[in-house]
Structure 1
Amino acid sequence: MPHDTKLYQEVSKTCWPIVYSPRYNITFMGLEKLHPFDSGKWGKVINFLKEENFLADVMMVEAREATEEDLRVVHTQRYLNRLKWSFVVATITEIPPVIFLPNFLVQRHVLRPLRTQTGGTIMAGKLAIERGWAINIGGGFHHCSSDKGGGFCAYADITLSIKGNGHERDFMDDSRVYIVDIYNRNIYPGDGFAKRAIKRKVELEWGTGDTDYLQKVAEHVEAALSEHKPNVMIYNAGTDILEGDPLGGLSVSAEGIIKRDEMVFQAARNHNIPILMVTSGGYQKHTARIIADSILNLYNMGLIDHFEPI
């Protein structure tokens, strides 16, 4: 049932459809340093874009925190109740010492930032349809489904963005959703059940580099769009494919990541499809610089601009 969400807001036409909040960043007593994920990367992306005179605070859309009512559009009450136990959040975020924190601190310093990023993805989905494109500087919690979190993903922001306006499990029997996934077949989570929902699986081997990776992106994105014309593309633009990433296991260069993003946005433009980009995973300190450089490249290539709404 629809509900009266406060996540959607009127946005000035002078604003870019780029969504962010300083509350995205997770910092608390150094605990965030116990996970390989850079939990302050979102602020670093924004700082790089400001240094390049591409963005100012008044040009961005401020994300709002998703409420429990917002989250119940997808999540079960049972799952949301489980997040009130610190040991559950410690398991999801893969930061064991979180077990020992009172849950009110976990809610404030860990889950509130993730709920704000989730609200950002939902808002960005609306903007993408209105403006033709949008970028949430955070979000992309693709390891979370309606009743299960993991891999630093506590809320299913992609599913919430689709239904409000681990997502593979959530769309298992939904023919309206076409999932393309290009991934290292050897790594986490190895969820065979969830893989059944992927309409186009592109499984890569350890160490796949730029040439093979980009060729597969070009081939399979185009093939998918010839099979299915969506109302909107949600692009999970993770940087864990970067060479040297401790978890991704691939060998794509920074230039390769920037080219990949350009190719996906170009495909969306060619097919006249709105696109929402979320930044997702990436476990090296310099991924923030790559994300910022990619956004700048999208602008320089004319793929994000004040073009006419679709």
Structure 2
Amino acid sequence: MHQTKIPLIYHPSYSSLALPEDHRYPINKYRFLYQAIKSKYFHLEGHPFTEPKSKAVSSDIIAKTHCPAYVESLMKGTLPAAKLRRIGFPWSEALTQRTLTSTGGTCLAVEQALECGIAIHLSGGYHHAHYDYGSGFCVFNDLVIAAKHALELGAEKVLIVDSDVHHGDGTATLTENEPAIVTLSVHCDKNFPARKPASDFDVPLLKGTEDEEFLISFKQVVDLALRIHQPDLVIFDAGVDIHEQDELGFFNITLSGILERDQWLLDTCMNQDIPVACVVGGGYRSQHEQLVPIHMCLIDSAYQVWSRRKKEQK
């Protein structure tokens, strides 16, 4: 952890996608979150975060994970209407550019986490994308693509910790024959998607689950996965749609519960010298700015863990 700043990855395209006014996807939250981080942290002496960067990934790299015909159809705008409806976005060149840039951002987070110990991508977590189709606002599965990228960089085993309220079904199917990528999903049992293929570790929790039960379950399964697999990298999907006021969530997790989740995960990995690449994951409110304080739990936790480790190294 020789770097003085926490790597932060962001691109304006994350919030520039034009969507119908009543669309459920909170497209503006990324810009609001970025602005909140700049306001809270960029003025501090030493600048604890790097300047945001972007790094688009090529369609050839994506085709190593997804069906080449699906990738080509998406890029050319020839994807059938039924498949676009399943994704939930109208096609546009802006959609393809945003998707490529966001996927590249998660790959960049992996690179910087392996170098620095922690990295945060202000997008990512598109875990419903399968081999030859997208689903649930997910076009390409950046988690799996980035995990494979980490393996190419020399990691021998990658653990994907998915704490979005929705099951990581696409991640599970895309990695079922990838023993070097371990998948873990803690999610609401009675929520999207209806079919939940097996991850390596699945923890389905009931609607209405509150802080204590969630945190006990989350900590136990992550600790177990770390002890069994001893990964070289953790990719953490820090979804906040587990929050009690989320419009698509069905859990009753408080802000303090989410903060404890994020602090514990980062502390645990840092104490074991396991790099962590974080993505912000899901979160759904009609008023997009209401998601910012919840996503800031991850940012604040990273800053606290980072600062503490830097002091210990002095």
| Change in CA separation of 1:90 and 1:288 when aligned onto 2, cut-off 3 Å | farther
Give unpaired runs (5+ residues) of structure 1: 1-11
In 1, are the aligned partners of 2:8 and 2:49 still within 8 Å (CA)? no
- Alignment-derived partner of residue 67 in structure 1: 58
Shift of 1:168: 1.2
Shift of 1:107: 1.8
Alpha carbons 1:179, 1:200 under 8 Å: kept: yes
8 Å contact from structure 2 (residues 235, 278) kept in 1: yes
Q: How does 1:86-235 map to 2 (within 5 A)?
A: 87=81, 90-95=84-89, 98=90, 106-108=92-94, 110-165=95-150, 166-192=170-196, 194-195=197-198, 198-235=199-236
Distance 1:132 1:249 in 2: 33
Q: Which of 302, 311, 314 is the equivalent residue of 1:298?
A: 302
Q: Helix, strand or coil: the match of 1:181?
A: strand
Following superposition, the deviation at residue 62 of structure 1 comes to 0.9
Question: Who is 1:20 aligned against?
Answer: 10
For 1:263 and 1:171, locate their aligned partners in 2 and report how far apart those are by CA, in whole Å: 26
What letter matches 1:139 in structure 2?
G
> Which residue in the other structure is 1:279 paired with?
280
Indicate conservation of the 8 Å contact 2:17/2:98, yes or no. Answer: no
Following superposition, the deviation at residue 156 of structure 1 comes to 1.2
Counterpart CA distance in 2 for 1:93 and 1:26 is 18
- Cα pair 2:59 2:100 within 8 Å, conserved: no
The counterpart of 1:50, out of the listed 32, 38, 50, is 38
The one-letter amino acid of 1:49's match is: I
Alpha-carbon distance, 1:67 to partner:
2.1
2:120–2:279 CA contact under 8 A, matched in 1 = yes
Partner Cα distance (2:5, 2:53) in 1: 10
Residues 1:120 and 1:88: Cα distance change in structure 2 (over 3 Å): farther
The structural deviation recorded for 1:304 is 8.0
Q: Could you say which residue in structure 2 is the equivalent of 1:252? A: 253
Query: Is the alpha carbon distance of 1:301 and 1:77 closer, same or farther for their aligned partners in structure 2, counting shifts above 3 Å?
Result: closer
**Contact in 1 for aligned 2:7/2:112 (Cα 8 Å):** yes
CA distance in 2, matches of 1:64, 1:308: 33
Q: Contact 1:182 / 1:204 at 8 angstroms: preserved in 2?
A: yes
Task: Give 3-state SS (helix, strand or coil) of 2:119's partner.
Answer: strand
Counterparts of 1:199 and 1:303, CA distance in 2: 33
1:74 deviation in Å? 1.5
After TM superposition, give the deviation of residue 241 of structure 1 in Å: 0.4
Name the CA distance, whole Å, in 1 between partners of 2:205 and 2:303. 30
The alpha carbon displacement at 1:27 in A equals 3.6
Q: CA-atom RMSD, angstroms?
A: 2.5
Unpaired runs of at least 5, structure 2? 151-169
Deviation, structure 1 residue 93: 3.7
Secondary structure, aligned partner of 1:62 = coil
Distance (Å, rounded) in 1 between the aligned partners of 2:28 and 2:310: 29
Q: Any conservation in 2 of the 1:15–1:61 contact (CA below 8 Å)?
A: no
Contact 1:73 1:163 in 2 (8 A): no
1:16–1:61: 8 Å Cα contact kept in structure 2?
no
* Pair 36,138 (structure 1): closer, same or farther in 2 beyond 3 Å: same
TM-score (structure 1 length as normaliser): 0.83
Structure 1 residues 217 and 297: CA distance shift in structure 2, 3 A: same
Q: Secondary structure at the match of 1:214?
A: helix
Opposite residue 40 of structure 2, the aligned amino acid is: E
Partner AA of 2:93 in structure 1: Q
